């Protein structure tokens, strides 16, 4: 009974393709996030959604489009993939937008662009 689950775990694709990563949480949390972790292990927030509404959108190319069909799901669609998109992408969730509660992370999707 995984709390935050992402699919796929590995994604290998060609430059220029479009791909999606799915995320689901069964914790009943209101807020979900996408992070990017680069090869140096640096973790950076990309997006945050609260009850299907976008609340954080960091400086991310608009080739990246998050979609939240309901508060338990936050998917990430990436158009026209580039070499620099290679990274591990983590989904996370937390009970609410206000600070004071830890975020719970999935195990990541390793995206490799050929």
Partner 1 sequence: GESVGLHLPTLSVQEGDNSIINCAYSNSASDYFIWYKQESGKGPQFIIDIRSNMDKRQGQRVTVLLNKTVKHLSLQIAATQPGDSAVYFCAENTGGAGSYQLTFGKGTKLSVIP
Q: Which residues bind partner 1 (CB under 8 A)?
A: 4, 31, 40-45, 48, 56, 90, 92, 94, 96-108
Tokens of 3: 């709390």
Separation between Cα atoms, residue 40 and residue 93, nearest integer Å: 23
Judged by beta carbon, residue 14 or residue 98, the one nearer partner 1 is 98
| Cβ at position 19, least distance to partner 1 in Å | 20
Helices and strands in the chain, H and E counts: 0, 11
Parallel/antiparallel/unpaired status of strands 104-105 and 43-50: unpaired
| Cβ at position 27, least distance to partner 1 in Å | 12
| Cβ at position 16, least distance to partner 1 in Å | 28
């Amino acid at each position: 009974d995984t709390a935050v689950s992402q699919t796929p775990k590995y994604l290998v694709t060609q430059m220029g393709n479009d791909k999606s990563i799915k995320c689901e949480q069964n914790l009943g949390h209101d807020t979900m996030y996408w992070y990017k972790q680069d090869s140096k292990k640096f973790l950076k927030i990309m997006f945050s959604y609260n009850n299907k509404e976008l609340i954080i959108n960091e400086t991310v190319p608009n080739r990246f489009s998050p979609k939240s069909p309901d508060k338990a799901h936050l998917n990430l669609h990436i158009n026209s993939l580039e070499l620099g998109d290679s990274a591990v992408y983590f989904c996370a969730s937390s009970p609410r937008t206000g600070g004071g509660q830890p975020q719970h992370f999935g195990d990541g999707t390793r995206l490799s662009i050929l």
